[in-house]
């Protein structure tokens, strides 16, 4: 193909149109690759980030709503928090529990023959003297009941084991306090009506108490009934 024929082909209208389209598509492809494609990638990336932020915002709104609900509950039951502290105190408050039981028994007409307290974990009372606490317990319940009280495993090996375990467990208990408990075994004599009154008054007290076991038998010396009661009370 000589030079003259090539010039004639270039002057042809169809050839010029084809050449224009070819150059246009080449330029358009170059523009897409180097101009539009980065913008599209940025747009898709921003859209993905926007969806993630919307999801995170939704979760944050749910958490905020929960906090608001908790605050509303706190405001609603603010006056009841003191009652909750009395129901489940942070320490065993053994003297107070025994005093409540002795007063309730006296008011109901129940004659307490014996009162046995199980071993208590005093890991929450690291700064107090366990022996002195137990002595105070017996003095505060009154002379008529003190002679009938048998405190088991409060001193000796049981107390030393509890004191030794206090240091190891103090860290975990401070993070998430567990509901602890101890039991008191009560043996007494009274009539059925007096026993019923005693049980009802004992369970109606603010300090949380439950009955693990109750057994009744006839007193051979009189017409009264003998009750053996295992009371469980709770603390943190």
pLDDT tens-digit map of 93-149: 888 999 999 999 999 999 999 999 886 766 544 443 433 333 333 333 344 444 444
Residue 153 pLDDT class (50, 70, 90 cuts)? very low
Question: What number of CA atoms fall less than 13 Å from residue 20's CA on the CB side?
Answer: 7
Mean pLDDT across the chain, nearest whole number? 74
Residue 59: pLDDT over 90: yes
Report pLDDT for 22: 78
Per-domain boundaries in the chain: 3-71, 89-235
Q: Spell out the SS3 assignment of the chain.
A: CCHHHHHHHHHCHHHHHHHHHHHHHHHHHHHHHHHHHHHHHHHHHHHHHHHHHHHHHHHHHHHHHHHHHHHHHHHHCHHHHHHHHHHCCCCCCHHHHHHHHHHHHHHHCCEEEEEEECCCCCCCCCCCCHHHHHHHHHHCCCHHHHCCEEECCCCCHHHHHHHHHHHHHHHHHHHCCCCEEEEEEEEEEECHHHHHHHHHHHHCCCCCEEEEEEEEEECCCCCCEEEEEEEEEEEC
CATH second-level architecture of 89-235? 2-Layer Sandwich (3.30)
Higher pLDDT, 219 or 142: 219
Question: What number of CA atoms fall less than 13 Å from residue 80's CA on the CB side?
Answer: 5
Residue 209: pLDDT over 50: yes
């Amino acid at each position: 193909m000589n030079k003259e024929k090539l010039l004639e082909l270039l002057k042809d209208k169809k050839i010029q149109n084809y050449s224009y389209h070819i150059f246009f598509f080449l330029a358009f492809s170059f523009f897409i690759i180097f101009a539009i494609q980065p913008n599209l990638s940025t747009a898709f990336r921003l859209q993905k980030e926007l969806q993630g932020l919307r999801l995170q915002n939704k979760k944050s709104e749910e958490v905020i709503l929960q906090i608001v609900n908790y605050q509303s509950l706190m405001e609603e039951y603010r006056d009841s928090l003191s009652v909750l502290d009395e129901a489940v105190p942070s320490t065993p408050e053994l003297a107070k529990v025994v005093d409540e039981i002795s007063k309730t028994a006296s008011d109901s007409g129940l004659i307490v023959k014996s009162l046995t307290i199980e071993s208590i974990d005093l890991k929450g009372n690291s700064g107090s003297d366990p022996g002195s606490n137990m002595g105070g317990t017996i003095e505060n319940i009154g002379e008529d009941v003190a002679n009938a009280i048998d405190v088991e495993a409060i001193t000796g090996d049981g107390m030393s084991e509890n004191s030794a375990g206090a240091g190891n467990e103090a860290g975990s208990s401070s993070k998430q306090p567990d509901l602890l408990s101890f039991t008191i075994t009560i043996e007494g004599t009274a009539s059925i009506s007096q026993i019923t009154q005693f049980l009802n008054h004992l369970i109606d007290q603010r300090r949380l108490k439950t009955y693990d076991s109750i057994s009744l038998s006839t007193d051979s010396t009189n017409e009264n009934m003998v009750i053996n009661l295992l009371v469980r009370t709770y603390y943190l």
